[in-house]
Structure 1
Amino acid sequence: MIETGELPPDRERYVEIDLGTLERLHASEKDRKKGIEEKAKANLVAVTVSFALLSSVIGLLREGNPFIKHGALGITLTIFLAVGLISLLLGGLAALRALRVDQMCDLYIQTEYRLLGAPETERKRELVLAISINERITNIRSNFVDASYTHIRNGILIMACFGLFLIFH
């Protein structure tokens, strides 16, 4: 877990960066967080739509369906369906996890009040700390979104194989 007050190892060099640049970096990290949240929400929508399509495909698997024969084919199709479903479920869970990582480090009014009259280097140190923590948290979110994309892609590929198997068999 990220500890508050932890600065990068070469923190003294960061004081040399212009205050305006640090503020822009801090704002861009907030924008990056919003972009990743939007991707995670899009993944959840994709999983929801996939489950809706999947429920209609499950209707094809009902007893008496002329497209499906019992035996090895039925077992194969059930395995495809189960693996695809699990993959989509994992994609949705990873997207939800990306949305649950909600911590963002910012300069609040207490920090601003404490920095009144303090040298500019103190404000820079606070911004560097916030940027450093936010970069780590945003990278964690990004990793969850990437895992979600991978699971959704795999689930869709498995479902496509399932569909092709149904169509061409």
Structure 2
Amino acid sequence: MDNGLFTPQDLEELSARGITPEAAAHQVEEIRKGFPYLEILASASLEQGILRVETSEEAGYMDLWEEYLLSGKASVYKMVPASGAASRMFKMLYNFLEAPYTAPEKPEEERFFSHINQFAFYERLNEACLRNNWKSIPKLIAAGEYKTIVENLLLPKGLGYGSKPKALLLFHNYKEAPRTSAEEHLVE
């Protein structure tokens, strides 16, 4: 093993997670070598990899999940989706920008604006709105300037999220600060 690969702090973190330095070095080597592409046979759909759960069955499945988590055998990992361009993710907002109306009319548009303060990027978007338009998001909403908010989110004059890779978008809120999905991978 290359003793220069990990700092003392890294070794402490690895030990706390139950990972030997050898196992971590092996993981680093695997990442350096790269991984072969997987062959995707078909996309998942209902009854083809995705189980439809009826409302009456939800409680039973939740009980099974809780039982599994408490069993001591649980091996649960978090997946942070972060591949590809964000433009697909914001398709609805691009459509809104091009629409002839100025206020949200479709349910997904209304949902976006009614929950905007819950997004991890909210504070940075608010700063961009203040910098570019001298108004906060609540004031822009009160003035009916919804498209100005979307422009500050998607276009380069604001956060430029429409053209950034998803890995660089603020995805999750934490007490200390929001994180991009790339940062989430580094933390894990």
Structure (1/2) with the larger helix percentage: 1
Greater C-alpha Rg = 1
Structure (1/2) with the larger strand percentage: 2
Whose RCO is larger (CA < 8 A, sep 6+)? 1
